[in-house]
Amino acid sequence: MQVPCSVAPLISANHPVHAAGAIRLFAAFACMFLIGCSTLWIERNEPAPVTESKPVGTQSNESTPPLSLPLPPAPSKPVAVIVGGKLSTFHELTDALAARMVQPYEIFAIADGSTQSLLNKIRALDPPNVVAIGLPALELASQLKDTDVIYAQVFNPPAGHRGVEPIPPFDMQLAYWQQISAKMQRIGVLGSTRMRNVIDSLETAAAAKNIKVIRREVSSDKETLQVFRAMVPYIDGFVFLPDESVLSPDVIRRIIVHGSRNNLQILVYSPLMFDLGAYLYISAEQTDVAEQIVALLEDHDTHSRALTTMRVRIQTGTSSNEAG
């Protein structure tokens, strides 16, 4: 190693006195030089610490999940409303139902022609629910498989369907009848075997109001007329059930005429029968029927729903009074 020039004069023959001290001084200086060089090498070769910096106000893509938006709901399939005739009450109910429906719907009217094309259209629609207004509509809707069918305006419907009762509860009817006829103590009723359940309900409601029911089961229109005439002297009123299996237009007219001649109060559920001269006509409020249908569509109740109101018309001579 070459000694720095600033130190060399200290080690020479011309200065023997200072030789030993110079050597010690040289050794100390050399150590300091080596330590400084070693420290400098370490400082220069040690890697600088690495720090991660992020822009202010931004987030890393790794920590931010992708934005997920919910899919829009699938459009609801429309409810099929089948109108089974041209009766004014059917169209009144259709209008009341349209004003209250929340679900989309399509109306199908049964015409005089073939119903097969109408059935094909409804099948193509694939509705989740079908509202059948009238017995012909219910018979058509019953041919649809895996479809919830709700009936209305159907007297004594077949088993296996749910819907709205066609007439107000008998206890409501009898309570009103007693209000306008205080001496109402015995009522007569006729019907075929298909009307047994209906007549049972009438008998139960009448018993609660101390009214005796005289019931007879018939099998033809001629038998109906004969049994009615024999029953008239023993009753104060007659409940004329619309049992088409044992009635004909001629028998209906003759029963109403015979009852009027004997001052017998006859309760009917058809405006046509009332126009023939029956004393009392009770029907459903179509707004009430529509509300019960909407409730069945929303609640999926498996039972039929009763009406809560009724419409009443009373015959007075050749005219009639209507009461709500």
Give CA–CA dist 247/284, Å, rounded: 22
Classify residue 79 as left (phi > 0), alpha (psi -120 to 50) or beta: beta
DSSP-derived letter for residue 110 is -
Overall residue count recorded for the chain in this entry: 324
Q: Which two tokens stand for residue 236?
A: 């104060």
Low-confidence ranges of the chain (pLDDT < 50): 1-23, 25-46, 48, 50-60, 318-320, 324
The CA-atom distances, in angstroms, between 262 and each of 184, 253, 254 are 15, 15, 12
* Residue from 86, 48, 277 nearest 268 by CA: 277
Q: Name the residue ranges covered by the structural domains of the chain.
A: 79-163, 170-283
What span, in angstroms and rounded, lies between the C-alpha atoms of 134 and 141? 11
Other CB atoms within 10 A of residue 64 CB = 9
Question: What pLDDT score was predicted for residue 111?
Answer: 79
Query: Out of 3.40.50.2300, 3.30.390.50, 3.20.20.70, 3.30.360.10, which CATH number does the structure's domain 170-283 have?
Result: 3.40.50.2300
User: Which residue reads 């070459």 in tokens?
Assistant: 2
Pairs from 110-119 (Cβ < 8 Å, separation ≥ 24): 110/82, 110/83, 110/84, 110/85, 110/136, 110/137, 110/140, 115/140, 118/82, 119/143, 119/144
Within 10 A of 147 (CB to CB), how many other CB atoms are there? 16
The two three-digit tokens of residue 258, written as one number: 């015979």
Contact 199, 189 (CB under 8 A): yes
Q: Are 127 and 148 in contact (CB under 8 A)?
A: no
Distances (CA, A) of 251 to 168, 269, 279, 315, 324: 25, 16, 17, 20, 30
Residue 87 phi, psi (nearest 5): -65, 145
Amino acid at 284: A
pLDDT at 293: 97
The reported pLDDT for the residue numbered 69 is: 63
What does pTM read for this prediction? 0.73
> Using CB atoms within 10 A of its CB, is residue 320 exposed (0-12), middle (13-18) or buried (19+)?
middle
pLDDT of residue 159: 83
Q: Which amino acid type is present at position 181?
A: S
Is the distance from CB of 101 to CB of 79 less than 8 angstroms?
yes
Token look-up 């999926």 returns 300
The predicted structure's pLDDT at residue 156: 86
Residues 6 or more apart from 279 whose CB is under 8 A from it? 259, 260, 264, 265, 266, 267, 314, 315
pLDDT in tens, 256-269: 999 999 999 999 99
